[in-house]
């Protein structure tokens, strides 16, 4: 009985960082934005940001914004909408007339920091780790 309980717990924990069915099998690009680390996968006009680091009681608002930055940096497209929750966010991409043009290497790990930009928008500079 104890063995079955441990196996069940292990299977549940293993599923915590699994991409959704639409993104399964795609390589992830790891991106850290303002302390939140995401595994980002892109397929067609959708991107998925899976948060992999622990954070105490995160609200979706700030996580959503960080996930959008990570998805934009990986896909090279504008994120028009983010749906999901604190652990898994899916972004709708606007890439103009063409397909997404990846700006980061799949399988790479990048750290993005806010930089001063003219105007009210916050810009991010991403460098490989």
The answer to whether residue 30 sits within a structural domain is yes
Residue 5, pLDDT score: 66
- Domain limits for position 73: 26-128
Q: Per the structure, how many domains does the chain have?
A: 1
**pLDDT truncated to tens, each residue of the chain (129 aa)?**
677 666 655 555 555 567 777 788 889 999 999 999 999 999 999 999 999 999 988 899 999 999 999 999 999 999 999 999 999 999 999 998 888 888 888 889 999 998 877 766 778 999 998
The answer to whether residue 31 sits within a structural domain is yes
Torsion sign (Cα): 101, 105, 109, 111: negative
Range list of H helices, 1-129? 2-14, 60-75
Q: What is the pTM of this model?
A: 0.82
The answer to whether residue 96 sits within a structural domain is yes
CB-CB contact of 101 with 89 (8 Å): no
The answer to whether residue 12 sits within a structural domain is no
The answer to whether residue 102 sits within a structural domain is yes
């Amino acid at each position: 009985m104890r063995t079955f309980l441990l196996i069940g717990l292990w299977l549940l924990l293993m599923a915590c960082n699994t991409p959704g069915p639409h993104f399964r099998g795609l390589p992830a690009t790891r991106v850290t934005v303002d302390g939140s680390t995401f595994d980002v996968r892109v397929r067609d006009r959708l991107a998925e940001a899976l948060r992999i680091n622990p954070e105490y009681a995160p609200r979706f608002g700030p996580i959503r914004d960080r996930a959008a930055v990570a998805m934009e940096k990986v896909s090279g497209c504008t994120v028009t909408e983010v749906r999901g929750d604190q652990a898994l966010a899916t972004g709708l991409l606007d890439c103009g007339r063409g397909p997404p043009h990846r700006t980061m290497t799949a399988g790479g790990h990048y750290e993005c920091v806010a930089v001063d930009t003219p105007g009210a928008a916050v810009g991010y500079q991403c460098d490989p780790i």
